[in-house]
Structure 1
């Protein structure tokens, strides 16, 4: 019998048996299931299994937290017992999609597009943070930056800045690649389409406003039809819609053109038609919509920053539960592309810390070794920007830690929004989040960090202790013992209470 054979058998039983499993795979720490019916899962029995550290459901997938290394062995045992074949994470996602409603499917589509390009965006954010440290005045020296005091560092900062900016300058190319793949077309054509929308011959999107007020926007004149030569640097909506159109045209052509000449006709026709439609209709319409949405958000946070910060800061954790937080990645990128900054992302970073702090408080408050281990590892993960283990494994399980994390995040969101804290890029959430904040706002952001550490930790710890006492009281603890006389070998028949109250030096008659 294998070491984890029993655990694997118990897990399968707890999730409704192998007949309830549509597909299964695993990641570094978790088993991932697409279940036919999640309502039959016995979560109490599941989380009582020794190797299981927690479980949660998100985006149609039921995930069981096991731990790094162990999860591989448990999965192998489970595969042998059930006959479930090895499948990819993508196949499990596709199987899980059947359990989603239309809104969830739309959110999942956006997540499938933006998550693959997230490493490039986060890397760019981290590098921009390093550049911020090198070029920010007042960090190391009064009113001077590091490169001003040490000019030999200036070129290094310049190279870092160029590398960091690349992902944002060519963002439509990244989105085009990922969107075309998600919609079922050629990733290469999607990338070319995205790069086409930021071609150097086009008017830079960031210069559009000044061109309108000055010399005017350059145009192509095609048989009397004027098409504006505008680039879409930093824009999200134009390339999303254009990629969908490109894939539809590509798939339409592939079904009707013989295989022998597809290479010569499909890509040129698809790109040419999509290009015309993009510059003539898709680009101008979506550019207007995107700017209107951006202006609306900016107006809200400028006119009523307290309400904006309180609501977004407080409810971001709820968005994570529904998976809708992925849609705000597109909003952040749109804000950065249009204004150079985002006021939403700093609240995301603080929300991560708040969830980690609530989980960490549970580690200090509990005596359950299994819960201690899960709370610690999930808190560290949240402090580094990944909150799902803390939220689903600990905080939502006990409810009040999650609520206190939301309260702390709301207070911090209110505070930093009133003080106009913004991020110049998307980076790593949690504690490293300050790297994406301009150095002149670090002090304010650190105060926000203190709020999301102290408030959830203190409230969660106190409540956990109170709840513990209530449970003991309901169970009759401490037990009420009524003893009148006790026969002891040395003391004879004595009142036990009087013996317990003896002080050092008291004389006790020995029979």
Structure 2
């Protein structure tokens, strides 16, 4: 693209409320990120009709304008001059934007900041588990599993399964790293803390139920206090709370211990104290809370699966708009650890596909060539699990495609939940999502996929025609 004109950037600045409304600004690979004083001053219609703009949305206190890879940095360079801004880092914008968040939004943002960095590992693991499901699931290629009919492939399947399971077996290590970093502690100590909670000397969390029934849970006797030697494989809450304690102890000690003694004092004391607190209090309490929440959620969906699927399918996309969808990643991981699968994630995948199909529907009815192009590219992105371009660039902008998508997602969610569809892992939340579904549920899941691929296009077309009539 040619050099960006000053006038075009001035129009963007004017559309976001003028330079006096901008507290700070930075950019990522595709988007301008603003910390605005008052988002109510944004003229979204004017902004999204701008030739350089592909969409806009607000998330976690930041107002983000989608420009596109390779262009956004040029726009930002002109923006800094036009709006008389100092160059800001992403962290500067986050810090500025957090001032505008309420307590619930802050809590959601903390979870998002912790889980988003580890998503590549989790999604990769989910894809590999999907490949393992293809090889080991009966009734896919043959009546028996592929590896039973072709034993030479068994070891390959075993290696794939080991690689795939690693991220889930050592999930507390990943969360410990990300959480400690978020809370201001040493990420390496966070890794050690997480791995400590799944140490081989501890009873595997997945064997806890059977050991409890048999009365054979190993314990430590600590000055008359019995502490269960239980690991927290696949658990989310224990390492989250422990990492917070670890980081706060580390920060406290770093402020008071002389530099010459920090290596000898800070990390050993922080890990030792956090370890005792984790095994004595945090672990048992959060383990009980996590399993209680899981049991409650399962009970609700068992009692009225059609209603649960209908509601979750309907609200998932609105949750994406608020950023609160990140909280359900922790729920999915807890469900997988406690019950061996999650019934929530399949609805996520269908919701993403529905948003992509609705955007694709807009491509067929839009007259503006820019909207047609944006609709197609954002649909492809949504089909591969990234819905923001479709959501904010097309569906919410015209409203009726968004309504078409959530109606379709709700219907499909109701159908697959009534059939008990579960995912063995978290994978790519789009068309490849079937790989993460247990193979015995593929038939029903494909019916759900057909619904969210066809119905949003039909409804978008109908709503669009009605709107114009």
TM over 0.5: yes
- TM-superposed deviation, 1:83: 4.2
Q: Does 1:74 align with 2:75?
A: yes
CA distance in 2, matches of 1:377, 1:72: 21
CA RMSD of aligned residues (A): 1.4
SS of the equivalent of 2:64 reads: strand
List per-residue Cα deviations over 1:249-297 (Å, max 9, x = no partner): 1111111111110110011111111111111111111111111111111
**Equivalent residues in 2 for 1:16-415 (5 A)?**
16-141=17-142, 143-415=143-415
Runs of 4+ with deviation above 4 angstroms:
none
- TM-superposed deviation, 1:236: 0.6
The equivalent of 1:476 in structure 2 is none
Task: Between 12-21 and 176-185, report the one with greater CA deviation.
Answer: 12-21
CA distance in 2, matches of 1:452, 1:13: 38
TM normalised by structure 2 equals: 0.97
- TM-superposed deviation, 1:362: 0.8
List per-residue Cα deviations over 1:372-429 (Å, max 9, x = no partner): 1111111111111111111111111222211111110010000000111000000000
List per-residue Cα deviations over 1:420-454 (Å, max 9, x = no partner): 10000000001111010111211110100011112
| 8 Å Cα contact 1:358-1:402 kept in structure 2 | yes
| 8 Å Cα contact 1:4-1:73 kept in structure 2 | no
Q: Structure 2 unaligned runs (5+)?
A: none
- TM-superposed deviation, 1:72: 2.3
CA distance in 2, matches of 1:461, 1:45: 25
CA distance in 1, matches of 2:103, 2:31: 27
- TM-superposed deviation, 1:89: 2.4
CA distance in 2, matches of 1:2, 1:339: 55
- Between the two proteins, the alignment pairs up a number of residues equal to 468
Q: Structure 1 unaligned runs (5+)?
A: 471-511
List per-residue Cα deviations over 1:61-104 (Å, max 9, x = no partner): 11112222222222222223334344332332222111111110
Whichever of the two has the greater Rg, that structure is: 1
CA distance in 1, matches of 2:87, 2:216: 59
Task: Between 235-244 and 212-221, report the one with greater CA deviation.
Answer: 212-221
List per-residue Cα deviations over 1:445-467 (Å, max 9, x = no partner): 01000111122110111111222
List per-residue Cα deviations over 1:212-258 (Å, max 9, x = no partner): 11142111112222111010111111111111111111111111111
| 8 Å Cα contact 1:136-1:146 kept in structure 2 | yes
The equivalent of 2:416 in structure 1 is 416
SS of the equivalent of 1:99 reads: coil
CA distance in 2, matches of 1:244, 1:145: 44
TM normalised by structure 1 equals: 0.89
SS of the equivalent of 1:49 reads: coil
CA distance in 2, matches of 1:88, 1:234: 34
SS of the equivalent of 1:144 reads: coil
| 8 Å Cα contact 1:350-1:409 kept in structure 2 | yes
The equivalent of 1:8 in structure 2 is 9
The equivalent of 1:441 in structure 2 is 441
